[in-house]
């Protein structure tokens, strides 16, 4: 069977792309949230200690929060998928003929003739009945369930990588740190926005501009607030 150039045919490609997109989004969260905090504090004071303290807290707290949120979310999804797998396994053991009829009906609903659908259902059932039903009925691959711990680690790592960029830029000398942080953050957001759009298969300009404009608004807002608070309490 010929393989078309540019079309992925290996198993799990959709899952890997989702992981990449999640990593890009996690990095964007780290970039914007840490940058907004350090720029806001830098707008209020030139002293490095409070900036570093706020940046460190944002980096650590944000990474832990991202990891926890991802762990809870993926754990719930994983528990549901495992419950569905066990339910399907029980049904196959208790009423195999009805399950075969159900699989045949599902393939007929996809456009196969009754005879072809029955043959496909019988062959797949003979090979791996559970896998066949999980794939067609529930769109689940029992060999490719997401690990909550892996998801948590990936989310925290992506956030940390992204947040390190503005954290490093804000440590520059006072006369250039704000401008340098703005420039570096917006450039990085443009790159990650373009990458996210590319992974999603969409045109790059509009998604990239959304990310850059949103980041610029967040930075400007926190800088203005920090400057006003610094002036008011200084």
Which pLDDT score, from 0 to 100, does residue 13 have? 54
Q: Is residue 112 part of a domain?
A: yes
How many separate domains does the chain show?
1
pLDDT, one tens digit per residue, over 118-149 is: 898 888 888 888 888 888 887 787 777 778 88
| Mean pLDDT, residues 51-66 taken together | 95
**CA atoms of 190 and 213, how far apart (whole Å):** 10
Please report, for residues 17, 125, 126, 156, the alpha-carbon distance to residue 96 in angstroms, rounded to integers and kept in the order given.
36, 9, 11, 44
- Mean of pLDDT over the chain: 85
Q: Is residue 211 part of a domain?
A: yes
**C-beta of residue 145 within 8 angstroms of C-beta of residue 81:** yes
- The HSE-up count of residue 106 (CA atoms within 13 Å, CB side) is 18
Q: Is residue 8 part of a domain?
A: no
**CA atoms of 89 and 131, how far apart (whole Å):** 10
| Mean pLDDT, residues 4-33 taken together | 67
pLDDT at 179 over 60: yes
Q: Is residue 10 part of a domain?
A: no
Q: Is residue 86 part of a domain?
A: yes
Which domain range does residue 217 map to? 15-233
Q: Is residue 118 part of a domain?
A: yes
Band (pLDDT 50/70/90 cuts) for residue 6 is very low
**C-beta of residue 168 within 8 angstroms of C-beta of residue 34:** no
Q: Lowest-pLDDT range, 8-22, 29-43, 78-92, 164-178?
A: 8-22
**C-beta of residue 201 within 8 angstroms of C-beta of residue 14:** no
| Mean pLDDT, residues 86-95 taken together | 89
pTM of the predicted structure, to 2 decimals? 0.77
């Amino acid at each position: 069977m010929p393989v078309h150039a540019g079309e992925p045919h290996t198993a799990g490609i959709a899952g890997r792309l989702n992981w990449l997109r999640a990593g890009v989004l996690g990095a964007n969260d780290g970039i914007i949230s840490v940058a907004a905090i350090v720029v806001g504090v830098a707008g209020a004071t030139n002293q490095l200690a409070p900036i570093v303290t706020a940046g460190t807290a944002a980096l650590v707290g944000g990474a832990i929060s991202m990891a926890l949120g991802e762990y809870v979310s993926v754990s719930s999804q994983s528990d549901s998928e495992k419950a569905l797998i066990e339910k399907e396994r029980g049904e196959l053991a208790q009423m195999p003929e009805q399950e075969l009829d159900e699989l045949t009906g599902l393939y007929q609903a996809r456009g196969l003739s009754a005879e072809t659908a029955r043959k496909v259902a019988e062959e797949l059932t003979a090979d791996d009945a559970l896998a066949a039903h999980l794939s067609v009925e529930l769109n689940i691959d029992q060999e490719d369930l997401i690990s909550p711990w892996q998801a948590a680690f990936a989310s925290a790592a992506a956030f940390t990588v992204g947040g390190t960029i503005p954290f490093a830029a804000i440590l520059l000398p006072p006369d250039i740190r704000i401008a340098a942080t703005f420039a570096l953050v917006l450039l990085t957001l443009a790159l990650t926005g373009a990458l996210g759009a590319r992974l999603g298969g969409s045109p790059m300009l509009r998604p990239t501009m959304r990310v850059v404009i949103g980041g610029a608004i967040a930075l400007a807002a926190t800088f203005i607030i920090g400057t006003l608070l610094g002036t008011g309490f200084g």
